[in-house]
Structure 1
Amino acid sequence: MTAHTARRDFLGRLATFGATLGVLPGRALDAAPPPAADAATAAAVEDPWMKRVAGTQRVVFHSHLPTDGLALRWAQTFLDTQKTVYGIREEDCTVMVGLNGRSIGWFFNDAMWAKYPTVGEVMGMPGTRNPITESVAILARRNVLLLACGNSIRASGGRFLPAEQRADRERTTAFADEARKSLLPGVEVVPAMIVTLQQAQDRGLRYVYAGG
């Protein structure tokens, strides 16, 4: 048997074996990669905050628990240290604070804290005023991206209303609508923080967990 005949017999057996598995021999021997997705359907989503990402120093501080506002405090410390110690301008930094879960209470204005005293209780700082309102305002003026999770806002009534009201669908819906309208100036709502964190890392923002 010549080498040519042996190779032909081998390919014939391979084709027969492939047929029993439902595999076309041409595909098995010379598989081509799947076609690239159409550019129009694969276009990246552009949420408003993405247009503000710039500079070489990029970081996102994330929290889903109150933790005394740690994510917000770290954002300020980051900018201060970069400027005073390393001489890096704030224009060269993109800093994001992403809050979801119970931590979104830091983004509620004083009116919400006054109307619903349970907000302060849940945040671990009982009172009728948000104690870090001014800190949030300072970060907004420093162009920090302040992002609140839309899913968490929709679920906020189940976290911040008095316990006996949390199962009342009408009350929780009303609370969520009010919370969205009562966010501090400079706060932007994103659909889901878990997706935003992935999008942020895709754009070079390094992740720092400030949840405790």
Structure 2
Amino acid sequence: MIDHNATPRRNFLGRMAAAAVAGGLSWTGGHTAAAATQDWTSEVGGNHKCFFDFPNHKLSFPLVHIFNYIGTYASAFGVGNEQVGTVGTFYGGGPASSIFMGFNDEIWSSYKVGEYAGLDDSDGRPYTRNVFNRPTSDDSVLLAKGLQSPNFAALEGAMPLVGIENLQNLGTKFIMCNNALNSWVVELEARGKGTAADIDAALRANLLPGVTIVPAMVIAIEQAQQAGIAYNKQ
């Protein structure tokens, strides 16, 4: 019998192998690196915990939902943010992915992330800084675009609150998929942004503070479930 899924599976494994080679990974090793990331769940505190799974940036709306989760526990249930633990994810592939949300302004500028992702500021120019990390009220144009509406005051007030740094201050843990990172290295090399080795070194040296690289997001999701962290697909 012909296995019609064989070719797609081979293509997927081929892409994974290429990403691994670009990232300098070993298919037979890596156990030490994997073990070092197993304890990321211990950084998720509180009695109310939720894993927000977003492979796409969706113009900041996954971050809005994390803030909403924390804020609603405070306003509706009187639960302080120290009792609420949240997790956000950086992974995926292509211009719509969330992978580049986890890097600092140097990467955004060097690799023209705003242009790559089609993310423009209020003047219509591609962002050269990580707009998701420390957004200002002017950056609410992203939320307005997501809502397909004109910008308005409530969005301007909300935007600075849903930045990655602010969410980290409220106890949110952000993790990045190593496999997705390796895949982005391959893509950036193919786009003529440098050699895989140089790109890989630059990306890993310029993660946002507090971001933990996990071996694979599919495993991290399982680990979160085992740790009693609820799951929310974005």
Cα displacement (A) at 1:197: 0.5
* Alignment-derived partner of residue 199 in structure 2: 175
Work out the number of aligned pairs and report it: 161
Q: How does 1:1-212 map to 2 (within 5 A)?
A: 47-101=38-92, 102-117=97-112, 119-125=113-119, 126-134=126-134, 135-159=163-187, 161=188, 164-165=191-192, 171-210=195-234
Query: Residue 228 of structure 2 aligns to a residue in which SS?
Result: coil
Cα displacement (A) at 1:158: 3.3
Structure with bigger RCO (C-alpha 8 Å, 6+ apart) = 2
Cα displacement (A) at 1:110: 0.6
What RMSD over aligned residues (CA atoms) do the two structures have, in Å?
A: 2.0
* Alignment-derived partner of residue 24 in structure 1: none
Partners of 1:114 and 1:176 in 2: CA distance: 16
Structure 2, unpaired ranges of 5+: 1-34, 120-125, 135-162
**Is residue 51–residue 230 contact of structure 2 (8 Å, CA) maintained in 1?**
yes
Partners of 1:72 and 1:190 in 2: CA distance: 20
Partners of 1:132 and 1:164 in 2: CA distance: 24
* AA in 1 matched with 2:82: E
Partners of 1:122 and 1:47 in 2: CA distance: 32
**Is residue 103–residue 123 contact of structure 1 (8 Å, CA) maintained in 2?**
no
Deviations 1:113-138 (A, max 9, x none): 11111x22343313211112221111
**Is residue 154–residue 173 contact of structure 1 (8 Å, CA) maintained in 2?**
no
Instruction: Provide closer, same or farther for how the CA distance between residues 150 and 162 of structure 1 changes in structure 2, counting only shifts above 3 A.
Output: closer
Deviations 1:11-39 (A, max 9, x none): xxxxxxxxxxxxxxxxxxxxxxxxxxxxx
Larger radius of gyration: 1
Partners of 2:47 and 2:99 in 1: CA distance: 28
Partners of 1:90 and 1:188 in 2: CA distance: 21
Instruction: Provide closer, same or farther for how the CA distance between residues 56 and 99 of structure 1 changes in structure 2, counting only shifts above 3 A.
Output: same
Structure 1, unpaired ranges of 5+: 1-44
Partners of 2:210 and 2:231 in 1: CA distance: 21
Q: TM-score, normalised by structure 2?
A: 0.63
**Is residue 87–residue 174 contact of structure 2 (8 Å, CA) maintained in 1?**
yes
Q: TM-score, normalised by structure 1?
A: 0.69
* Alignment-derived partner of residue 18 in structure 1: none
Partners of 1:69 and 1:201 in 2: CA distance: 25
* AA in 1 matched with 2:90: L
- Identity across matched positions, percent: 27
* AA in 2 matched with 1:70: F
